[in-house]
Amino acid sequence: MSDDDKWQNPVAGFGVTFKAMFKKRLTEQYPEQQKTTAPRFHGRHQLNRHPDGLEKCIGCELCAWACPADAIYVEGADNTEEERYSPGERYGAVYQINYARCILCGLCVEACPTRALTMTNEFELADASRESLIYTKEQLLAGLTEGMVEAPHAMYPGTEDTDYYRGQVTGAAPGTVRQVAVTKGEKPEDESVDAPGAKGVQA
């Protein structure tokens, strides 16, 4: 190596340094300024509901089998006519995701046959203990929106579980409020009141 080459390499390196000194800094003021995520960002999971409030999860455990990090634990249980949480025969009685293990890959979402599991844009999952990173079904289950009734309650009259999976049930069944009240051993105040926003089944 000549003397000229020995001098040229350090000069080229310093050139890169001097160029970077005058560039605009890319510092992000987080958490004061919240970061905007991409629309399909893989964040915290969510267990979804059908439009009438029944849960989409059928306790099949396919998401747990698909998880490469063994972060999901599911226990299925049988529905009964007195206590129905989802269409069909079974529902997810216990559902847990361990975010100390989860790598947010989304393979569980792809494995779900009823579209019960999706991923939100929420990424702030840090906590003070390992135990608090194990999210339960109550934490993952989507809240009730207008027209939904808290499970357990009966399916829409005259429908089958396949109608739910095809998206043909669009709202709460008439009389669902009364059914829930009777199931829980409570006497409804007004027998003529149906569920708010009740709709029928699409043709």
What is the rounded distance in angstroms from the CA atom of residue 57 to the CA atom of residue 184? 22
In a domain, 39, yes or no: no
Q: Is residue 109 part of a domain?
A: yes
In a domain, 5, yes or no: no
Q: Kindly give, in sequence order, each residue whose CB lies less than 8 Å from that of residue 39, ignoring residues fewer than 6 positions away.
A: 121
Is residue 97 one of the residues assigned to a domain?
yes
Q: How many domains does the chain have?
A: 1
Q: Could you tell me if residue 160 is inside a domain?
A: yes
In a domain, 14, yes or no: no
Q: What is the CATH number of the domain that holds 158?
A: 3.30.70.3270
Residue holding tokens 């396919």? 62
Walk along the chain (203 residues) and give the pLDDT tens digit of each residue.
565 555 557 777 778 788 888 888 778 888 888 888 898 899 999 999 999 999 999 999 999 999 999 999 999 999 998 899 999 899 999 999 999 999 999 999 999 999 999 999 999 999 999 999 999 999 999 999 988 999 999 999 889 999 999 999 988 877 675 444 344 444 444 443 343 333 444 43
Nearest-angstrom CA–CA distance, 59 and 114: 10
Task: Record the pTM.
Answer: 0.73
Contacts of 140 (CB under 8 A, 6+ apart): 44, 45, 46, 47, 95, 97
Containing structural domain, residue 117: 45-183
- Is 36 inside a domain boundary? no
Is residue 55 domain-resident?
Answer: yes
